[in-house]
A and B are shown apart, each in its own frame.
Chain A
Amino acid sequence: MMSSTAPAQAPSTEATRSRATIPARLASYGTLLGLVALIILFSVLRPQVFLTPLNFTNILEQIAILAIVTAVQTVVMVVGDFDLSVGALASLVGVITAQLLVAGTDPAAAVAAGLLTGLLAGAVNGALVSYLNLSAFIATLATMTSFTGLALLLSNGSTVFGLPDSFVWLGQGRLGPVPVPVVIALALVLLIWFVLSKTVLGRAWYAVGGNAEAARLSGVNVRLVRFSAFLVSGTGAALAGIVLTARLASGHPTAADALMLSSIAAVFLGITLSRAGQPTIGGTAVGLGIMGVLSNGLNIMQVNSYVQQVLTGLIIVLAVSLSRLSRRRR
């Protein structure tokens, strides 16, 4: 949690030094060490290909869209919920935006309409969870199914082509050497970091996720706080869907579906770095880094993509169980 990011400041009455021993510290940073180990491993195995600025940009570009979804998934998971509908929603927004563009809508208006769709979808999720008291798992599983159905319905199950270049720039363009999706993802991650760690809303998100009843009795509007987290995840999912559609230069009704599981996996990897067992944006970034480096490195090593998937699953299990073990020893 936030408290682990800064060292102990002025101690209180019974002052003693920080208690964590060195091995305990190492264990709690196991996931970070894992990322470093992966980077070293691939650097040694393929130094000419892996350890280049170009490849570094590649990795960032490859995880940029996942990073957008994961940043907002982090928020929902801080509050103690899940959003299973982010992938399906991103696909749906992609289809809607693509169809508006094909129909001749101004790109800015089409993007705005896409984001608004995401905000509304997030409001539906938030209302189901927060005000109708459905479990987030059930509610977002249901909306995920419906969003996918809607996307297929609207697109008739086929890909929407013919998007204007000005829109496609969002996914394929560059600002100097940096791909536009990377810029968008970085900006969003920074924004979420700021909200989570510096604002009253972020503190309320953490408090509700840590103990909703204690938060309520402290005067926090728990329902509104949970609702707001789903607004964020809906809007973020829409943004990811828009950038993905621009990158592919087409809207496909299931293009973004796989983002959901990867985003939850990345947040879980990040949680292993947190002392309080709650997600942090820094931890999420490490989780994303592991997923990005792993997939890029295995690609460079020309490992079969099915094998890659098996390995990714194994690494998630390994990281999470290592952190469980180190926690139990305390």
Chain B
Amino acid sequence: MNSPAQRTGAASEGRRAPVLATRALSKDYGPVRVLSGVSLEFHAGEIHALLGENGAGKSTLIKMLAGVTAPSEGEILVDGAARRLRSVRDGQSHGIVALPQELSLVPTLGAAENIFLGLRRPGSRLLVDRRALDRDATALLERLGQRIPLDVPAGELSAVQQTMIALARALARDARVLILDEPTAALTEREAEQLFAVLRTLREAGTAIVYVSHRLEEVFALADTATVLLGGRHVWTRPAAQTSADDAVAAMIGRPPGQIYPQRETGEPALQRAGGPAALEVRDLRGHTLAGVSLQVPPGRVLGIGGLAGSGRSELLALIAGAQRPRGGAVLLGGQDITARRLAGRMRAGIVLVPEERRSQGLVMTHSVQDNIALANLGRFSRLGIASRSRERAAALRRAESLRIRATSIRQPVEELSGGNQQKVVLAKYLERSPRVLLLDEPTRGIDVGTKAEIYQLVRRLAAEGVAVLVVSSEIPELLGVADEIAVLHEGRLAGLVPAATATEESVLHLCYRKSA
């Protein structure tokens, strides 16, 4: 492997001509400019990370590099010559291959078939020469140091094996520039390491790699060069060795980091809500995974819920909200047993669940911001069954303002918004219920740093108003940063309850695996 000094030297001095470059590249969608005058260079044998919040323009940029969409202004240069990339196929003919976030493999076909899909296969035009196909596929996989059984359908292979097939597919297309969009999103840590090793090999072989990821640690472990985009503009490009994750975060959000997690105010809960503040109590609650959990959350308290995937975290929230029927146990709100009530009844009582998957559970994607916010409030915004558009609009405008939802109007379909703004719409919809107990399931998954900080502040503000909040999160720093107390679940049972002030990432992790801290 090259030493960092050599690599960064090559990149910064720019002695070699870049394989791929952009010159004042811009992209407009309607009147909205999503990318503005970005000039970048991508060199052979270099891993170049693109960093930025959701909506910073990363996706738009790589789409244009791959030939998916055309620039509105500016140029793309391949080997120094301006090229118009009219399609993905066009991009590939110049050796530019993008691996989308969702790998587009055919799950029922084997590795070899997937690798050569859409290419002229070895053998005659009409008949498939299986042996030649398998031989060539094996050779490509070997270049990646992989052995993947060729007779197993891709859908049954592991996530990292599928990624490798997609990479082999890129090699089969003679990729000189490889564009990766969040390639580790579906991988475990160990699998990610495997992928990084392969990417380093490809870099040594002279491939230029454009790498998009939200995970800053891995970016800085891997990349030679980092570029930060903010609001469609180029902030800076630096050798990775001469910058840090903190610098990058500061540039991505346009202000210094450190203030992501809010200050905790302590004081009397001042809930001005129907029914006033109320404590949530859960007694011996049981479900499919949950095997008897008891908890109490007083008004104004934020309880973080940690645990491994499958420990029953999400089920606990679903059972409290009434989204799932319990196998036993009781849910009490302000001392009153509400176990018999279903989801709608518990919402009326003030218990509100913000579900984990915003696209499949939180939103009607084709409907507008206003309609989505109204959906959880239809009964409240109506008289004698007739919906009041003006009250819906007023509520949606108020929430869009206070949560700073970025949309062209509250009439815009939510499918056109960025992930962070979609999440804000889900929050708006449920906050409009003025909850006494707020259940948040992975409220910041897949959204940018800036929006995360806003959501944390919101949680603390609601707690200060006297709402009891339960937050499920896979990110332990998030639990430590936002919660007062952390309950850790292990195989459906409470493994421990620790104050956030004294807990550490390590001690919570130990509880997750149920080792004594």
State the A residues within 8 Å of B (CB).
1-3, 6-21, 198-204, 206-207, 210-211, 213-221, 275-278
Residue of A nearest to B390 (CB): A9
Given that A19-B32, A204-B378, A217-B343 are contacting pairs, would A3 and B385 also be in contact in the complex, using a CB cutoff of 8 Å? no
B408 touches A11 (CB 8 A): yes
Complex Cα distance, B371 from A52, in Å, reads: 42
Partner of A199, one of B362, B385, B429: B385
Q: Assuming the A-B contacts A199-B385, A218-B429, A219-B343, are A207 and B413 also in contact, with contact meaning beta carbons closer than 8 angstroms in the complex? A: no
Can you give 20 contacting A-B residue pairs, CB < 8 Å?
Answer: A1-B366, A1-B367, A3-B367, A11-B409, A12-B400, A12-B410, A16-B32, A16-B408, A19-B32, A198-B386, A200-B378, A203-B374, A206-B364, A207-B371, A210-B364, A211-B363, A214-B361, A214-B363, A218-B376, A276-B413
Contacts of A7 in B (CB 8 A): 411
Which residues on B are within 8 Å of A, measured CB to CB? 29-32, 323, 343-344, 347, 353, 355, 360-371, 374-376, 378-379, 382, 385-387, 393, 397, 400-401, 404-413, 429
Q: Given known contacts A200-B386, A207-B375, is B407 in contact with A8 (CB within 8 Å)?
A: no
Name which residue of chain A comes closest to B355, CB basis. Answer: A217
How many angstroms between the C-alpha atoms of A277 and B401 in the bound complex?
28
Q: Tell me the bound Cα distance from A89 to B369 in angstroms.
A: 39
Question: Which residue of A has the minimal Cβ distance to B378?
Answer: A200
* Beta-carbon contact of A13 and B404 below 8 Å: yes
* Docked complex Cα distance between A199 and B406 (Å): 28
Distance (whole angstroms) from the CB of B100 to the closest CB of chain A = 17
Verify A220–B409 contact, CB threshold 8 A: no
> Are A220 and B29 within 8 A (Cβ)?
no
Given A203-B374, A207-B364, A221-B344, CB of A14 within 8 Å of CB of B407: yes
B409 touching A8, Cβ below 8 Å: yes
CB distance from A179 to the nearest CB of B (A): 31
> Among the listed A1, A20, A206, A277, which residue makes an inter-chain contact with B30, where contact means beta carbons less than 8 Å apart?
A20
A3 proximity list for chain B (CB < 8 A): 367-368, 370-371, 411, 413
Closest to B365 in A: A211
Who on chain B is nearest to A8 by CB? B409
B residues within 8 A CB of A218?
Answer: 375-376, 378, 429
- Say whether B382 contacts A200, CB under 8 Å: yes
Contact assessment for B31 and A17 in the assembled complex, using a CB-CB cutoff below 8 Å: yes
- Contact of A19 (CB < 8 Å), options: B347, B365, B371, B408: B408
Known: A16-B31, A200-B378. A8 touches B385 (CB 8 A): no
Check A214/B375 contact, CB under 8 A, given A3-B413, A14-B406, A20-B30: yes
List chain A residues, Cβ under 8 A from B362.
Answer: 214, 217
**7 interchain residue pairs of minimum CB distance:** A19-B30, A210-B364, A276-B366, A8-B409, A12-B400, A3-B368, A219-B344
Q: Which residue of A lies closest to B403 (CB)?
A: A13
Task: Write the nearest CB–CB distance from A199 to chain B, whole angstroms.
Answer: 5
Closest chain A residue to B364, Cβ basis: A210
Q: Of B323, B347, B385, B410, which one neighbours A9 at CB under 8 angstroms? A: B410
Contacts of B400 in A (CB 8 A): 12-13
* Contact flag A213-B386 (CB < 8 Å), given A6-B411, A21-B30: no
Contacts of A217 in B (CB 8 A): 323, 343, 353, 355, 361-362
Residue on B nearest A21 in the bound complex, by CB: B30
Partner of B365, one of A8, A11, A21, A210: A210
Q: How far is the CA of A153 from the CA of B511 in the complex (A)?
A: 70
Kindly list 20 other residue pairs between chains A and B, CB separation below 8 angstroms, not including A10-B393, A200-B378, A200-B387.
A1-B368, A3-B367, A8-B409, A9-B409, A9-B410, A13-B406, A14-B407, A14-B408, A15-B408, A16-B408, A199-B386, A204-B378, A210-B364, A211-B364, A211-B365, A217-B361, A219-B343, A221-B344, A275-B413, A276-B413
Q: Is B31 touching A210 in the complex (CB atoms < 8 A)?
A: no
Chain A residues with Cβ below 8 Å from B406 are 13-14
**Minimum CB distance partner of A210 in chain B:** B364
Contacts of B429 in A (CB 8 A): 218
Contacts of A210 in B (CB 8 A): 364-367
For the complex, give the distance between the alpha carbons of A12 and B400 in Å: 6
Chain A residue at minimum C-beta to C-beta distance from B30: A19
**B380 → chain A, closest Cβ, in Å?**
10
- Residues from chain A with Cβ under 8 Å of B412 in the complex: 8
Given contacts A211-B360, A211-B364, A15 and B409 within 8 Å (CB-CB): yes
Min Cβ gap A293→B in Å is 29
Which B residues lie within 8 Å of A211 (CB)?
360, 363-365
Min CB distance B372 to A, Å, is 8
Q: Which residues of A contact B367 (CB under 8 A)?
A: 1, 3, 206-207, 210, 276
Say how far B147's CB is from chain A's closest CB, in angstroms. 40
Query: Which chain A residues border B405 with CB–CB below 8 Å?
Result: 12-13
Residues on B with beta carbons closer than 8 Å to the beta carbon of A8: 408-409, 411-412
Say whether A278 contacts B366, CB under 8 Å: yes
Task: Give complex CA distance A204, B411 in Å.
Answer: 18
How far does the alpha carbon of A214 sit from the alpha carbon of B429 in the complex, in Å? 11
Contact status B408-A18, CB under 8 Å: yes
Given known contacts A3-B370, A19-B408, A199 and B364 CB-to-CB distance under 8 angstroms: no
Pick from B347, B364, B366, B387: contact of A219, CB under 8 Å: B347
Q: How far is the CA of A149 from the CA of B291 in the complex (A)?
A: 52
Residue of A nearest to B383 (CB): A200
**Are B393 and A9 within 8 A (Cβ)?**
yes
Contacts of A221 in B (CB 8 A): 344
- B106 CB to closest chain A CB (Å) equals 21
B405 to chain A, nearest CB (A): 6
In the assembled complex, the Cα of A221 lies from the Cα of B347 at a distance in Å of: 13
- Chain B residues with CB under 8 Å of A11's CB are 408-410
Q: Is the CB of B378 within 8 A of A203?
A: yes
Contact, CB under 8 Å: A10 / B31: no
Chain B residues positioned under 8 Å from A202 (CB to CB)? 387
Of all chain A residues, the one with the shortest Cβ separation from B357 is A213
A92 nearest CB across to chain B (Å): 31
A276 to B361, CA, bound (A): 18
Residues of A within 8 A of B382 (CB): 199-200
Across the interface, which residues of B come within 8 angstroms of A214, CB to CB? 360-364, 375
- In the bound assembly, the distance between CA atoms of A322 and B369 in angstroms comes to 28
Most buried by A among B31, B401, B404, B408: B408
Q: Which residues of A contact B411 (CB under 8 A)?
A: 3, 6-9
